Structure formats: C-alpha cells, structure tokens
Structure 1
C-alpha cells in the first residue's frame, strides 16, 4: 500500500500542469529562482496554503539588505542601518478593505506568526515599513487558507512561555522529573558512555587557548587563509574542551555526584572568556562558550553562589547579545545562513530558555528564536531535501531534533508532525542508502563514504518521533552489522543524539521496510533525484543521483546543474571530483565547486555561474515500478559571475572569475538533460538537448575518483568510457553524438589540491589524491545532441555493448531505443522494453509520455514551489 501511494503521488506531482500554462514547455528568463536575501513576500499573492499555518514574511527594507541581495536598481540607496531600530507593521483580515475583523500588529522583524491559525477561507494582508512614525504599506496580498484536518499548527509563543518551568534545571532535564529521568537511564547504554567519558576527563589535564597552534600563519598568503587556519586551530582546542566539559555536566545530571559538579563548574569558569583571545576566531567558538555557560547556569543553579550566578548571567548576556545582533533582521530573510541553522540558533535557543525570567534580554531572544523557527524551519523548502548536500546536512542534526523536541516536551504539541520531517526521511534515505556513498552533492561530499553514526542516530530519532518504519529498517540494518555504531557520534558537537535517546523512551516502530520503497525519489524544490535497483542487497545495487537545483551554487552547493553520479555496491564510479579544502580556496573553487569538476557539460569551455544565478531546475519527473525519468534544465546556469557576494569572496580569496578560469558569457539558449531509469537492469539512458544562438562547442564530461577510466573510440558510432569503483563495480558509458568528438583524459586537476589548512593534531597535513577526468568536445554548432547509455554492473559480469540495429534503433539491456542525435529535426526519443509493457517517448516542446501497466502518464513542465 505504501509503495503504491508513493507512485500515485509522483504521478500527480509530475503530470499536473499549471492552470495558466498553455504549452508543455516552460522557458525561464529569471536571473535567479532563489535569492540570497528574500525578494518576495510569503505567502505569495493568490497562494493557497493547506498543509501548515500561515506565517507572514516579507523582504527587508532596501537599506537593510545584506550584500548580495537583489536591489532592483536601487543600489544607490543602500546604507548601513541600526537593525535594532527597524520596525514593521502587518495587518490582515477576510475583508479586502480591512474594515471588518481587522488584525493589526507591530513587529521588529520582517515576519509575523499569528497567535491563532487563520480560519479556512480567503484572507487579505499587507506589510508595512515604519520610518519616523510613517508607514509605507505594500500592495494588498491575498492568501487562501485550506481546511486540511492534518494542518501543522503549533502553539503560539505565549502558550509556550506559559509552560516554561520557574525552577532549574529546565532544559536538559526538568527538576520535577529529574529523579525519574535518572531511574529510566540506568539500563541505557548511553548513560555508561557519558560516565566513561566523564571519568576519563576528570583524569586528564585541560588544554588552554595558549595551546592553539599558530605555527603555519607565517606561511599563509592572505587574511582569508589566516582567519580560516586560526578558526580551525582554535576550534581544535575549544571543541575538545567543550565536549569534555559537556560530558562532565551530563554525568552530573545522570548521577547528581558532586565530583562532576565541582569539575564542570571549574572548567566553565576557566573557559568563560576564551573567546577574547586574539587567536580565537569564528562564531562556533563563541557559541560553544555560550552553550557551556548556559548549561552550567541551568544545571548547577542550586549549587552556585549568587556571585557565580551573576557572573554566568553576565557572560550569557554578553555572548547572547552578540549572537542575537547578528541574527536580527538578517537570518529570517537569508536563503540559508549555514552556521546559524547548523548550531548557533540551537545554542541561543537553549541559552534563552535557560535564563528566561532572569535575564531581561531573554524575553527578546525567546521570542525571536521560537518564531523564526516556526517561520523558516525546520526545512528551507517543502520537499525535505537539503540543498547544501549530504556532508553539511548532518551538521544540522542536533538542531533538527533537539530544538523541536524541547518545544514538544514543554507544550505537549508534536512539532515533528510538520510534514517536512516525513519528506526529510526520504531525503536522508534516498540520497545515501545503507552502507553506501552519498549522492555526491555539496561541499565535502567526498568524505561521506557511508552513512555515518550521526546520520543513523538522526534516522533513529525520526523513526521514533514520526513512526516512520523505513527509517527504522535503515537503522536496524546498520546496527545488526555494528551494534554500537551510534556511540561513534558521542559528544559530536553538531550531531550527537545520545542525550535525546536518554530522554525519549519510544521504541523503533515496526512495519514496512526499505524494500517497500519505490526505486526512485525526486525532490523538485531542492533539485535532487536518486534511483537504485536493489534496496535489499547493497552489494548488487546500481544507483545514480542527479542535481539540477533552483538554489544554484551558493552556500555549500556546487555548480553542478544537470550533473549525475553513478554507483555500484555503494561505491562511486562516475562521480563529482575535486576536494573541499576551504570554503573559497582556489582549488575548492576552481576544481570542486566549479562545473569542470562534475559530470555535466561545458559551453565553449565555460562553466556555470557561482551564486544563485547559476541555477537549474527539474521540470518533469516520474518514478514507476518499471521505469523512471527525470528532466533537468540548466539553460540559465551559464555565464559570468555577477553575484556581489561571490565576487567579494573571490576577491578576498584571490580567485578570479575569468574566461581563463572558466567563466564568461556564452550563447547558450537550451540545455535540457533527460535521464531514463531503465527498470532494474542497471542501465540508464541520458539525452542532452543543446542549442545556442550562435555556433558553440559543447564538452561532455565524466570523472572518476577511485581508479583511472579507459576510453575506446574504435567503434565509429560511439565513444566507450569505462569507470571502475575500485570495489568490483563498473559503469560503461556509450556516448553517441551529433558529430565527431575531440576527447581527452587527464589525472591532473586544473589547480593542484594543495592542503594548507587541514592538519592533524600533530601538525601533519593530509595529502589529497588526484582524480581522473574525461572530456569529449564537439565541433561548433548551434544545435547539438548527446545520447548516452550507461550500464552500471558488477565488474565480474562484463558489459555487453549496445547493439545498433539495421533501422538505426539501439538495443541495450532488454530495451529498444530510437533517438535523434542529428542536428537536424526535432530532439526526440522513444524507448520501450522488449520484455514488459512499458515505454517512454519525448519530442521537443511536447509532453513526455510514459506507458506502464496499461496506464498513460503525460508530463508537462511544472515549476517547483519556491520562496525567498
């Protein structure tokens, strides 16, 4: 039943056209689909909101928008402002003239969550900017509120604050439940983990900020490198001592033993001002100390003297105020402020509630933290995906669980009933199946070789909190192999959920497991897709992933629109290349973030823009029982880098966005990449539609990271490229094209991967290996087409080359393929199975048609629902 439901949902999402759409094809002209800072109100005018409460949000005033935000020609108006003095008004009613049932409010932030959910029906609203007592109102906007019985409607701040205990501790355990919590923890392994770590800490001398290694500063060439290096080295000390001290605090909560309290208090007061040292850099260090101060205040409140409590309150006030100043009138409008969402918002939230009622500033902090969570989080889009990629997704783990779990404990409301969490389970599973490499998107994806212990702990929490049995099966499969796997995450700053497991006594749910899932899943707002052939045995699973994203390549995302990766047995084969040394390091920018590092296409040797302007999107998709399909459009992704934010970052890092480095205007009009999942054969079919306003050349790229590729051009019909996983898997690509291709392979990066940052605790710098790169460059033409058949399989079962029939059709893996790769005529293909009743057809400008099991599905372009 579950699997059929998934299929039905995919049919609906992919095949229902926009009401105003006349043509099946949408050509976008927008500079970007997303913005670094909000450029549109939410809800949009005439929007229908059915699945959750309405949160009103709008752009910052022009003079307050951060660099990189769209200014719509008013750049000359931009000036620095005192954000604490910004003020807004909002009004809403079911009467367009605002004469009946009007609700009006003042707010210090560009968002407003009504105290009570709006009743179903049509509502009208306006937001206003207040300046010197005068209000400039927006146009009247309309939103229709649906009457779904499953609508997510959490309590108001007022209701939440009424439940905050007056006593301490109140955050990591409630005083009135402390004794029972200790009793319930006795038989849980996590308790022993904390006590073992705490006892080890008590026997080990503390390190100091004087131990920060500054020896490499003299070898660095610019301030960006110096700051990054000192941030890393100071975090090495502070993160270690933070986790040590946190272990001792938690050991005290679990035992109430005085030795832990004495040691923890001494440590916190020793570390309290470490952020004032000149060699301590970065917001994570400051937030670590805020976290320890607030934990100590809340946990040891009854043991502390008045002077100690006052000293901690002053430290919390100072550090929390700095943090809030940064968040205020910025975070709520920003596309995805990484560090804040990852950790610092969670830390300020817990600190605010620790001192609520005792520090006046906490009144504002609790208001902001709670309401910005409701307005923007837990997900930054509806589909549950994470545009920054799998490596950086797990940095958000504690925030995604601990913050809403704390709110749930306070209010009794289930914050995990937000539909985003169910969608996010699918992202977490499909982008990295059990024991498999991640989908290969976002900074540092190379490091995610298998679902780490943080990811398993996250799935364990979601399974228990949402009742999701797919997540439960994922966890069970992992723990059968390694029962103590989640212990590896113990006291991991962003990802350890051991304390959650001590608090939550729910068991893993029983029910359908991974084999009940569909073979593929698409996340249209995030712009991701992945398909596989075997949920039950990872060793024989052929998987592919794909990205074409409205987020472009900002934040930790990469310039890899319309790129794919292949995997066998959980290991990567044709895979994104390059190394994430540092956020804007030359190699990271030119070989890892840049388009040349991915399995996509260059236009005249140029890649995709850095920033939100370098976007793609997924207009159509289908996930059936016997066939799957994804269409990506990267027509707007290429050109010069224009983002003020990224231009500034390039300047600071001495990275030039020049034609020599791969960025320039190109005459591209269309780049649409179709990928067809040919059942469970391990075969996929890729069709590239390329068109430019003047003749251009098109470079088809493949990369491997485990072993060199082999290239065979002896067959005059196609180029055969084989990639190996290094673990018994292979992907054989057969590339058909409109004309002759000029090919090249190399094992050298465009810029060497020089590690100047990531040393171990002994000062040894890890060396980064080279990867292998294949390029096939076309002759110049206005129109060009590639058709690629990829067979991903066990190496011990050699691939059979495609058979080209007398009528020009191609036979591969039990499928017959008719495709036009000529520059003349319409772009089109028709594929049918020789064994089952299933087919797919496409012709340029028309619908994509799938026939499966006697049912026909017709797909037109559909824009994803986006906001910001």
Structure 2
C-alpha cells in the first residue's frame, strides 16, 4: 500500500487508560483554545486504583500528596531567556494568561528530594484565532466569588428577584408540590437496604455490585426527597422545608458508618446534601449545625480529593468521577471556600482540572461511552460551567466542544428514535428522554444552537411534558438550571437543513440519515471504529454498524448489560460476537484500549456519504493490566474458548458508502491475515428472527421491526456457510435488578446470524443494505452482464476476489456523482473532485 495514502499503524494502542504522552505533543499546533500543559504521572505511581466500586487492587499505593512537579516554558529553544517556571502539585499546568502566538518550548519535571528530573524539551506552535477559547485564571475567578451565603445554587444578592421570577415557571410548582409531599412522607430507613440475595452470589464483585445497588435504592430516594426540600426553601425561604431537610440530613450523616452503605455515589450523596444545606441554610443554622456540616464536608471532601489527586487528571475516563462526584465535590469546595482551609486546594484542583480536561474528553463533542452513560453526565456538563460562568462573567459555553456535543445529541439519537447503539446499556435508550432533551434545551439557550432548539421543539410538540419527565433525575435533571437561566430559545436553521451524515473522528463514531423531514420515513445507519476501543463502558465493536427505520432498530447489537464485568455482560454484550462486524477464526477484539479502531477518512454530502473504519489492530489476546485484573476479580477467562486468542489479523478496513438519500448503504470489507483463517460475518437482531435466503450471487438477510425492514445482500467469492440461533454464547440471567417486590425479570434472547468463509488468507465481502418501509418492495440488486451491480440509480463495481488489489467504485450518472477507491478515495460531485487519504485523529491521552 502507498504509505502516503494508506497508513498502517503499529501502535499497541492509540489511547491509554492513564496518560502516557505529554500534551501538547511535540510539534503540535494549538489554535482553538488556551494551551494546557499536561504530562504523565511518575512511572512508580500505581494507577490500578478503584477498578470497581469497593474493589481495590492489591498493589500498594504511593502517597500522592507528596508528589511534586515543575514545568517551564519559553519562546527560547535553549530555555535560557524569558523562562516561566512553575511548581505544581499535579501533572498539569494552565498558564495564567493565554500564550502569545508563535513557537513555544516546554519541559516538565518530576521533583525528588529537591532535585528535578526534567523531560526533553518539547515544542508547540500557538496560532492566532479570534474565536479561541481562553477562560480566565482561577485568581480572576475568585475575585468575583462572593464571601456571603448562599452563593452556589442562588446568589444572596439575587435571591429576592430569583424567587419572584421563578413563580411563573412550571418548575417552581414541581418543586413545591414534591416538597409538600415529602414533608408528609416518612423518611426511609437505612435498615430497609435489602441484603437477602447477596449471600448467594459467587464472587466479591457481584456481591459488592448488588450491595451498591440495594443501598442506592434507599439512599438515592432519600437524597431526592431531601434535595427537593432544599430547593423548595431556596424558592420560598419557608423554614418548614429547611427544618425538615436538616432533620433528614442529620439522620443520613449517621448512616455513613453503616456496613451496608457501599459505593462512591452514596458517599457523594452525603457530601452533596451537606454542602447544599451549609450554603443554602447558612444564615439560619446554629453554630453546632454549621460545625457538624463543615466536619462532614471536610471528611468526605478530603476523601474525594485524595482519590482524584494525581489520578483523575491522567485518567482516560474515570466514570463515576466525571459523571457526578467531581461536580458534587466542585460545588462543595466553592460552598466552603474561605471557611475550610482545605477548600483552597480543592477549588484550585477542581477549576484547573476542568480547564485541562473537561468538558469533553476529545475535540469532536462525541461521547465514547455511548448514549446510556452520556446521560449520566448531563448535570456535570451544564451545571459546572454554568456556575463558573455566573461567578466569573466569562462564557464557558463558548468552548467549541459544545457545538460538537449538540451534533452528538442530535445525530446519535434523532427525535423519537432509538439511540445509535454504542456503549453499555444502549438497548435501554429507546427514544430521547427528558434528560437528553433538557440538555439540548440548555445547549440551545446557552450557545444559540438553532439545531438543538429545533430538536427540542419537535419533540416537545408531541411530548409537551418531556422536560418534566427528567424532574429530580439524579444525574440529569436541569430543572434548576432553567429557573436560573432566562435566555430564550434561538430561532433559525432547523434539523431539515442538517447534512445527512456526521462523523466524530476522535470518538470514532458516525451516523448517516436518509430523511430529516420525516423521522417516520428515515433510514438510519450508525457506525463505530474508535480509538477508545472497549475500555470503560465502550464495547468491542470496532467496524460494527446498526440500521434503523422509523426510529426503531433492525440489524442491531445484541446482549444485555447486567453489570460491569459479569459473564454475560462481557462475553455477550461487550465482546465482538455481540456486534455486526467480523470474527477471525471465531476470535474477537481485545478488551481494553488495545482493541482499537479508527476512522482514517470520511466525506459527507447529501448526494453521497463515505467513511472507512480500520480495525486492523483490534484483535488478539487481552493484554490490558487493568482488564486482566478486572477479569481476575470477576472470575472471567479471556481464553480461546471464550473468544480471545493470538492475533492473526493484518488488515480489516471496512468502507461504508451512503448512496444518496434512498436508505441504501454499500459496505466493502478488506480482510487479510498472516495465515489462512476463517472469516465470520456477523449480523444480529434484538426482536424478530432474520429471514435468510441463499441466491446464486449473494446471501440475502432480512431484518424486520414494526414499519421497517433492512435487506442485506452479502456478496463473497465463495459459498458461505450460514447459521442463525436465538441462543447467547453465555445465558442472560438477571441476578442483579429486582423490582420492588423482589422479582428478577427474565432477559430475552436475541437472534444471531453468522456467514462463515472457507479458510483464506485474503478475503473480501461486499454488502448492499437497503433499509426501507416494510410494505414497500425492496430495490433488489441486479447483476449486469459486465459484472456491475445495479441498485436503484446506482452502479457498483467491486473486486471481491482474493486476487488483485482491493478496489471498488460507485456511480450515479443521474446525480453526477461517483466514488472510486483504489488506495486513495476519489469522489466526483458536481464537477468537483475530492481526494481522500488517511489522517490520524487528534488524540490527547
């Protein structure tokens, strides 16, 4: 292959569980935001912390409070003139003001016994950009932080106006009605935590998972009850609400030593309520109450800081922290700043780690953990920067990440549609819920994004109570934000004016649509090939796709997310066998960041869409220390029997072409191994059995669901062996989630289709997928005498032989558009030629 066009990566991983490279990388160019200097932790620091809730690595930990660093930077390559040197507690530094344009040089150093071990000198270039995101330093922010209380959920000097303005908002009545109901409702008891089913579970991870779940069932409910009382007090200054809240908080503080209170979310609950009460009730609390709340904040805040310090800032995705606990810790830190000495460090850390790493984990606005776990981050993504905006006067939502995030919300789950199908628990995201729609509403108001505004309007027109559905949802309710923010929804371009496709290259996901005007007639295709691989809540589904019609899934990933690391969840939901991709000798992709894919090229227009996903490095034995440890704790075996073995794959590039707006996709698979292997082409459905028919030229596989159908025409150079089953590799047993009556509802089976090739070293599949209304005749591909395949007004030519170069072409003479792939990808559209070659996404960790 031409190295200038097609890149063959040899990296074991593109991303790391913990930072392994400095940022900015050497010779990097920075133009979109202020520079943040970041570097890896010392090599001797153990990063195998908090593998699962309550489960710790057996390795000894370094005292992270004693870690010290230095960083220096200058425009002098010899680092002698005009050098800025800074000592830090953490492996990052945000310069106090934006760096001037030009070439800069920098070093980071590890301080040991007053001696600094410096890195090599690194270089980066700062480019001019009038729209560059340059938030203020913490020093400037703190100048505006009030010394009075309340100052977090409402400002004391704005309180009277806030109460008056809120009375006309529907959210006001929601809080008052719920608070009145809570006052009449007895408090939950810690003794109501149900531990009766825990003893029968076979390992500590499962027992801990159930204990966390059962304790949260009680504590989350009481947290919601108490929080709504605090909010009602802030809306009315009625002491009935604050008195009842303090009574409940005092009782909950006594729960913290109970052996059945497990998990960091439960600890964060107490911290959240204590800090909210301290700030909100400050002017009526007794000295003893203030002392009690400050003591609890000091203890729990200190525990969280010790966890985050010299860990979070280097972590690829510390799920619980970024979902909720950092937000809670941030609000607590600012609540007691100036009154608790430790809060000086906490505030410094919270603010600067946000500037360094947040709000997203990459540049494109996508969420690598998938839609279910994206929703858990909503309050953090809005409330933290909104708080910083309020106290600083700087608009944190000018961060360019939020523009991409709006596109993620819309393209990964259009109105009234199933989510694109990535990440743990994706099956539960049936249609946009109140949390997601509330986030779109906030983005529209804060950024002026008219597409997000239209998203909200379309959904709320048919579901007028959609925002209320999210009321008091722990991770995602933005009702209080809407009471604070009085910006109106913007008018302008709506969803109909969006392109038919969107690619998120850093996240490694893409979506193609056929019709923004009517979702009922929309054929949607989602795809994933991601540098994040299958770590965190991401799945081992590199180069996998899903299809949808009328917002409902057709060919779709299978399996159930029961818990993070139980047998079914790993073998049949996370593992590659669960997804619409390829197995090599029956083996799948690695678990961990080593099982990565990426999207080297893409092109989007309304006449043609294109991308290629590269999963050439995704397969092989599981080698991630983190996931090997998790497997050990959960009694999992990453063995050939379960789908992991030595790697024989050399190349797996999956090309995807959207043929206009007809709902027709063309897929071309380039496959090569270092020896003859069996190639298994996988398709799944979650509802109906697939219809499979073998024709002379192809195998036809049909998926149906409600109004829609997806017909896949699979072309290959050999007669394929096909089979279909409704049985999982490992049974789906609901051992964790019981209803209020203690009933563990059974989990349904899914359908799994496999087309298996003879053993070949080189192989090529070509697939035409037509997704359409079920009762409308399918556009069946026609095989022409010259070897062309005609489908609709498109002509396709593809080399599916094992001989010769991998190549294909698609052409639509009527629309004057064509695409030719032969190492390079050349697209002709409207008299304009575009040549695509591989390009690495910008990755940080």
TM interval, shorter chain, is over 0.9
CA distance in 2, matches of 1:221, 1:100: 64
- What is the aligned counterpart of 2:563 among 558, 564, 582? 582
- State the shift of 1:186 in Å: 1.0
- Tell me whether 1:863 sits opposite 2:844 in the alignment: no
- State the shift of 1:625 in Å: 2.0
- State the shift of 1:80 in Å: 3.1
Counterpart position of 1:206: 187
Any unmatched runs of 5+ in structure 2? 51-58
- State the shift of 1:273 in Å: 3.1
3-state DSSP class of the match of 1:800?
coil
- What is the aligned counterpart of 2:41 among 60, 81, 87? 60
CA distance in 2, matches of 1:105, 1:722: 63
Any unmatched runs of 5+ in structure 1? 1-20, 70-77
Counterpart position of 1:104: 85
3-state DSSP class of the match of 1:371?
helix
3-state DSSP class of the match of 2:282?
coil
Counterpart position of 1:193: 174
Contact 2:104–2:126 (8 Å) recurs in 1: yes
CA distance in 2, matches of 1:863, 1:94: 28
Contact 1:37–1:68 (8 Å) recurs in 2: no
Count of aligned pairs between the two proteins:
836
Counterpart position of 1:668: 649
Counterpart position of 2:748: 769
C-alpha distance after superposition, 1:109-161 (max 9, x if no partner): 00000111111111111100001111000000111111101110001011111
Counterpart position of 1:351: 332
CA distance in 2, matches of 1:550, 1:812: 34
Runs of 4+ in 1 over 4 A off after TM superposition: none
- Tell me whether 1:443 sits opposite 2:424 in the alignment: yes
For residues 361-400 of structure 1, the aligned pairs below 5 Å read: 361-400=342-381
Q: Answer 1 or 2: higher relative contact order, Cα 8 Å, separation at least 6.
A: 1
Counterpart position of 1:721: 701
- State the shift of 1:44 in Å: 0.5
Counterpart position of 1:485: 466
Counterpart position of 1:558: 539
Contact 2:606–2:661 (8 Å) recurs in 1: no
- State the shift of 1:67 in Å: 3.0
Counterpart position of 2:219: 238
3-state DSSP class of the match of 1:793?
strand
C-alpha distance after superposition, 1:314-359 (max 9, x if no partner): 0000000001100000000000100000000000000000000000
CA distance in 1, matches of 2:733, 2:242: 45
- State the shift of 1:229 in Å: 0.1
Q: CA RMSD in A?
A: 1.1
- State the shift of 1:679 in Å: 0.4
CA distance in 2, matches of 1:268, 1:807: 78
3-state DSSP class of the match of 2:620?
coil
Contact 1:64–1:80 (8 Å) recurs in 2: yes
3-state DSSP class of the match of 1:39?
coil
3-state DSSP class of the match of 2:116?
strand
- State the shift of 1:751 in Å: 0.6
Counterpart position of 1:172: 153
CA distance in 2, matches of 1:217, 1:307: 39
- Tell me whether 1:850 sits opposite 2:832 in the alignment: no
CA distance in 1, matches of 2:779, 2:308: 57
- State the shift of 1:218 in Å: 2.1
Counterpart position of 1:215: 196
Counterpart position of 2:789: 810
3-state DSSP class of the match of 2:510?
strand
Counterpart position of 1:139: 120
C-alpha distance after superposition, 1:247-271 (max 9, x if no partner): 0100000011111111111111111
Counterpart position of 1:653: 634
Contact 1:837–1:853 (8 Å) recurs in 2: yes
3-state DSSP class of the match of 1:784?
strand
Counterpart position of 2:725: 746
3-state DSSP class of the match of 2:680?
strand
CA distance in 1, matches of 2:62, 2:136: 33
- State the shift of 1:101 in Å: 1.4
C-alpha distance after superposition, 1:463-518 (max 9, x if no partner): 00000000000000011011111111111110000000000000110000001100
CA distance in 2, matches of 1:68, 1:652: 14
Counterpart position of 2:670: 689
CA distance in 2, matches of 1:611, 1:43: 24
- State the shift of 1:706 in Å: 1.5
- State the shift of 1:199 in Å: 0.6
TM-score norm. by structure 1 comes to 0.96
CA distance in 1, matches of 2:427, 2:506: 24
TM-score norm. by structure 2 comes to 0.98
Counterpart position of 2:54: none
- State the shift of 1:808 in Å: 1.1
Counterpart position of 2:341: 360
